[in-house]
Structure 1
């Protein structure tokens, strides 16, 4: 997943080197001056110190140095102290003497001005957080390591012991000068004491393993006196809180989040940055068989640090981290199963203005890009193991759990939450999580469910799918598809497919939407709502969609759109084994329409004053209904004949005013002949719309004209 798997990348970066070596010709002021192990080394150091001390101070220093040298000599003659559980057995006396003769020593240590923050991450800390350890007597080209009690579980090994120094908790380097100053950082693995000691390990070479981690195996040649430091515990108590979070604005590919945060006053003054970070994990589909032997990446729910794997929103490659891809492969390394989905992080950083501290509380916003149009996001569909807290599940756990379930249900899981990350004045960071060293559960909050807006650019009308915008899309099997089956469309000739094929090689996919016409209806896919672009064994790119079982048999079109709703291309498809077309209602004949119009004309000539109120009410309703049917462009034969009959019945039942019996029905208006058009009748017909019904009338008149013409011809022949 590259930049997407920020949580895993962050863990990897925590295991990088912890020290930086500098060539140093002249040592600065020391906060700790280390007494030397050999008398000759002590004499040299004392001689240098004597230039700036009084005779009395010099004598006192010499006495202390002699006493320390004697003590070291006695300790060397004794059996070495037992090493820690992971250390080798102590070196013999001869090896200890050889180590002392190396000449390398810790001459001074300068502690950082800031406190050691237990629970913070120092992966991105700057030099102000480092202990400056000055070393003298180094042999250029030889390997060394500087160990520290603040990063070590137990007592440091004593002088003369063999041990290994590793760059995840020590500074490992190859000497480039006889005097160098090394940066040694606190790593945050253990809660440190207020006193810190250092040990110098000398070896033959720096070893590098398959993961790039460095180490040196050798002998401890010197140790330092205690260095006093300040310690701040960030684990105990809720020091940062995400008080509220709401979805403020939903777009096609974005969502706007708004939150309120609070920082404990005891740390607020040293905070220089606040990151409002959001993690998005969404699984669309799971296919294939789960492999129980795979290694599962497991981790607690944690905020993203907004640094690891971060790229600029203006970066042209930013879209790559938002693409849909196989999440299982990145988490477990399985090749027998796929889980199509998205997993990425995005954050907004609030930086303190110069000379002003970060507010201890306030509003903060974050706009999360890279979402799919018309898609639901939020929190659903994942379950913890028995006895576990669901809030403790991280993104990797959710992906693994869904993969293990082997569900075929579409949209099986979604996990979307935010956190508040603090950066301190020394570059260390408090990255909240549920149960790790930076535990701050109140700084994490889930995002309520929401659905992005559908793409505004598509789909186009069926008439807009022309030969000019087919763009080489080809249907499989001779453009023949079966309803209720998965159908493949080859898109290798589309220029967009070249970009998609390159992403497939990197384990990512383009994500395209399909619509079936005549009326555009969005198609689902085995991948979920839309289809990922893939490449077959012959190197041809394709997408796949489900043809609905209720699709009507016959000719259709399938059009493809990108995630922005842009039309990519289309192809004709003939669908079989679907539903038979729905029978269309019978249309009225010209005679039917003419009969209705005649009945309406006759009815409209009547006057309300001539009839009783009761009979006129029924008649008026029938007339209105008939007029409505006549005005419809898609009126059926049944509607026209029914309206005509009801109007005739209402006319027959009209009762003259002052009478109790219905009037005799009026004679139907005699149809006018084409040779003598009735102006009133023609005017009445013009009231009807030029629609399907009126077209039939015109056809009827045309037939009448032809008939009339034939009659004239026959008449003339008989009189010839």
Structure 2
């Protein structure tokens, strides 16, 4: 599943059948200069220079990702993680020096005459070497490169057949190609992948070509597409030295060709394009992106997927200390995330681990920057920010197999309402810090925003274009990755800003789980039983999900969720009901409303949620039925009244009104799902503004109450009337019958004031046999029920507690 717009809700519907993955990983920005396919042999032989002497730049660049409908976190950026122009320049100078040393050594070494007698014939390369192709990706879990490439006839990695004569029959040989006609037997992937036994005196090797063969030629192979001459080198498999090079192994070469073959190169950035990126369907937490793509005809039948990577990096505040100075320089981020990456999490993965990862994504993080203050090392800046990357993928088959067209359903999620996004202030904190120091500023709000997209292409053989998988240091130009800046936009604000806007008419049959009782600082599920057809269709197919936001009242406060502060509407397999999960905040007590809004900031419904009250200020150990009152509070059947001190009072001696009784019984029954909009209202004196309106209608629907028949034929509920004890007996008996309870009944209890003519006498007798009531013991030893006395709240606590324990258990 993936986060998406519901149809008819002002946005496009995501049509991906396989989408919705979140990547949580620290991105490797500029990776090593050696170590890709077939590169070790080419570079390890730099005139006896050990591989460890070659430059290695592994500065990590933070980033995050999602895969067509999800998102992932960005670790806090630090100065140590910034890639610098100076570092890259030093790296190139070092490698240029090594190259020059190799060339000089090659000129001083004579060719071996015996090898010139051997003959090498080259076939025609099956295609060009595509510059910018990634054959592997970095895996954060294993801290290793993971191969993406699966060789095949339509492989993006071409091959060439090389036939060598003058070999020993039956002996296994291995070969490799390099742009150097050096003498030496270093081990490489090329050697291990191209081996064959000689038949007679001849062997033919199928050698797959990688752009790495041209990488080290002046370390500029990525910037030109001139043909490059490659040379075959052959050795017996038994003579290949794994991972080593030494001058003494040069005599192990059987063939070191001096003629070579020309191989053509082509930049993938010249044959893949993205254009006309625009913003559509702006919501409160989401935005839709639309773009045009074009793939060269040479890529026909070779493209499996295209993926739009959107990197969101939004600063909210930046504070710089006085007299601060920065150390070094800062640069923009490099290559975009690999689309899919390692350690991914699917949108429809609802495990605790997945929830925890998603929840972590949207939080505002704090970063620091080191420098000096008055010449001494110090933390000079502190900033807050959010950062993640979102992937939207499409199989080319979904796009009709077309090599050009328009994609109109890429979404960016987890945005904040009423917030501007775009590109200003640079791509990281450094540039803004420098500017603030220059202008002697100490604080800025909204100091920067970076919202960039990159088009990535996945080919049928598993390789990628436009990733940082095994990217080389020089290949970071924006054009190569098809970088596009997202136009500036501001998300919508929420429609409902006051609790008064939440009425019975727009509750829309939204119900809290656990009988409407929530625990502070915990995960809580809310059911949407009147979900729109569009959102149902998305949830049912599992292709996408409506992305909503949840707010808790009295003053609307956005709730964080296990889905990164966007509440994804899912379908519960066991019940078939639709729901969202939210995280309740700490410190809440009493009844609060939680409202749900869609991506267009439109109210989708709300429900009342009760948080248990820890204690009542007016209840002590001496209060009659104190333990029962505390049980009632702990189950959130009652919350009492909020007092002026901010605490809660129970008011145990107050009478229980009929409308309060409706609420007590509804909650005692577990707060069952009940759609007020579909319920009939039999009472002329009950409206949507009547306290406990929903509970009164529920009570009527169960038959627990019928109210009074008036002379004009109408019925009334008389909600403000006090409940007398004999009526309470009827309410409790009928509730037990509705719940189909079968309690154990004890002996009859004779009440001196209850006769056959007493209203609800049978219910009173039943109540006594269940142990819910005992009545009063009079001075003469008789027992009375006092049926016409109003029920006070502290006695009601005892009745409800006993009812739960003795009858409804």
TM-score by length of 1: 0.42
Larger Rg: 1
TM-score by length of 2: 0.38
Q: Which has the higher contact order (CA 8 A, sep 6+)?
A: 2
Higher relative helix content: 1
